[in-house]
Structure 1
Amino acid sequence: MAEIEIDGAPAEPAHLAALGLLNYGHFTTLRAEAGHARGLALHLDRLVRDCRTVFGAALDRDEARARIRRALPADGAPVIVRVTVFDPALGLERPSAPAVPHLLVTTRPAPATAPGPLRVRTAGYRRELPEVKHVGLFGLLHQRRLAQLDGYDDVLLLDEAGRVSEGATWNLALYDGRSLVWPDAAALPGVTAALLAGAHPGPQRCEPVTVDALGGFVAAVAVNAGVGVRPLAAIDGAVLDPAHPVVGELRAAYEGVEPERI
């Protein structure tokens, strides 16, 4: 069951209603265990950066960190933490009003087992402000829903030029048998992707990847803070090897990243 706090106190229904009705804000999601989280500094950097972009306001890193720490379970059990930044006083008529950001922190139990490989299909879709992890998820979830109704597990997004950008809620890394390839397109700069890129000892590069080139890869992984490294079994008709040795290497590299104390 999710636990919800706003500015360190139990969430007031009126504040939650304001977020639900306006749906304007940004967030970050991280996995915490025993008071530690991988990439904590990068998650805090994202909150500060996106707050300037979305609200034109400063966000106190230390306060955000304290709010996360306060929300963690006392027994250190692994949880998924989401920190949402919003202003319940803003309205539809004047979202340009000076903002006073509030922090909504939710926790839920982390998955006990690693999820299986993904089968995804591609779809042309570009998030608004793709560099920001904002709360406008309707388009992403709609694309995910359509893919699942068509028999797939998730969706992989293509930009206007037919280049691979990102998954619905994850970044993509492809392996061509020699190098790890990060698609070069407008996408969310993922914390897990940054950690994995820094930890992976093998060759890697960033370059545009068109949908027609996907058949040239032998393996691929979806990466985000919630699941870490998850293999793909197929993209459209391109079959990938979810048991390829590189998948285990990438997972080990990510899990070798030292978690930071919250």
Structure 2
Amino acid sequence: MTERAAIEGRPVDADARFMLHARYGHFTAMQVRDRRVRGLELHFERLEAASAELFGVPLDRAAVLGSVRAVLGDDVRDASVRVYVVETDRPHVIATAAPPHEAPSGPQSVKPVPHRRYLPHIKQASGMLQAHVGRLVAREGFDEALLTTEDGLISEGSITNLGAFAGGRLIWPDAPMLHGITMRLLERMDVPQERRPVKVADLPGFDQVFLCNSWGVWPVGRVDDVPLPQDDALMGRLHDHYDRIAWDPLD
């Protein structure tokens, strides 16, 4: 018989069945404003590297741009867009669009959770484990989870990268992680930077701890029940650099 599928008693079409099977792959997430995106070349590089590693084939950049343009249509100029590259019979490019998402406006709370991702350098299409970790800490009143080793060594957040300032230097955790697009853009700041092991116990000693992802950059106000120092000048430098990053056209 022909393959079929149904959701809550309703038969679904061929495209929906395809989506149900398309679980092996990777993706990138971006904020689109006025049909432009920050770091477009970095998004291409991420998709190309993951496609080569997972599928052993090159990425079709034209298919990526075509899918993004198609999901935006002629009328949508601002959106949260995801581009998936998933494999069934072969790799396919799928784009999704949702309402635009802005960064949180004030300091956020984080809770450490011992968890190590498999292939952490790849933004994986099946993100159930990270979503579960995020939901767990949200139930306890926290905004984000910090993924750590059992002894508290930080790698990243469940959907973010973590950075910190110490003595005028920008510090990034030296651990297996997803090298986020916004993190890569912030690495272009004209400020001394280094990677070093960072433990949860180190966070109160930093001048400013922050999180970043495609939404933007925002401060961390506390880890567990421990308040963290806040430095408006340092956050201002981060926002100034981020706000000056050029937006690349999608059309």
In the superposition, the TM-score normalised over structure 2's length comes to 0.87
Q: Secondary structure at the match of 2:187?
A: helix
In the superposition, relative to structure 1, how do residues 52 and 15 fare at CA in structure 2: closer, same or farther (>3 Å)?
A: farther
Q: What is aligned with 2:59?
A: 59
The one-letter amino acid paired with 1:50 is A
Letter in 2 for 1:153: D
Equivalent position SS for 1:136: coil
User: 1:251 is matched by which residue type in structure 2?
Assistant: H
The match for 1:214 among 203, 214, 232 is: 203
Number of the residue aligned with 1:182: 172
Q: Which residue of 2 aligns with 1:234?
A: 222
Give ranges in structure 2 of 5+ residues lacking alignment: 1-11
Contact 1:125 1:158 in 2 (8 A): yes
8 Å CA contact 1:19–1:86 kept in 2: the answer is: no
Question: Which residue of structure 1 lines up, in the alignment, with residue 42 of structure 2?
Answer: 42
Equivalent residue for 1:223? 212
Partner amino acid for 1:17? R
CA distance in 2 between counterparts of 1:147 and 1:121 reads 7
Match runs of 1:108-123 below 5 Å: 108-111=98-101, 114-123=104-113
Once the two structures are overlaid, the 10-residue window that deviates more, 48-57 or 162-171, is 48-57
Conservation of the 8 A alpha-carbon contact between 2:25 and 2:84: yes
Q: How do 1:1-262 residues align onto structure 2 when only pairs under 5 Å count?
A: 13-21=13-21, 23-75=23-75, 77-89=77-89, 100-111=90-101, 114-159=104-149, 162-198=152-188, 200-225=189-214, 227-242=215-230, 244-262=232-250
Does the Cα contact within 8 Å between 1:19 and 1:88 map onto a contact in 2?
no
Tell whether the 8 Å contact from 2:203 to 2:228 is kept in structure 1 after alignment: no
Query: Larger deviation: 102-111 or 72-81?
Result: 72-81
User: What RMSD over aligned residues (CA atoms) do the two structures have, in Å?
Assistant: 2.0
The alpha-carbon deviation at position 20 of structure 1 amounts to 3.2
User: 1:22/1:257 Cα in 2 relative to 1: closer, same or farther (>3 Å)?
Assistant: closer
Residues in 1 aligned to 2:112 and 2:240: alpha-carbon distance in whole angstroms:
28
Give the distance between the partners of 1:73 and 1:234, measured in 2 at CA.
41
Q: CA deviation at 1:157?
A: 0.6
Residue correspondences, number: 239
Q: Return 138-147 or 19-28, whichever deviates more.
A: 19-28
Task: Give the secondary structure class of the aligned counterpart of 2:217.
Answer: strand
* Equivalent in the alignment of 1:8: none
How many percent identity over aligned positions?
Answer: 33
Q: CA deviation at 1:21?
A: 4.8
More off after superposition, 111-120 vs 135-144? 111-120
Task: Quote the Cα distance in structure 2 between the aligned partners of 1:175 and 1:237.
Answer: 21
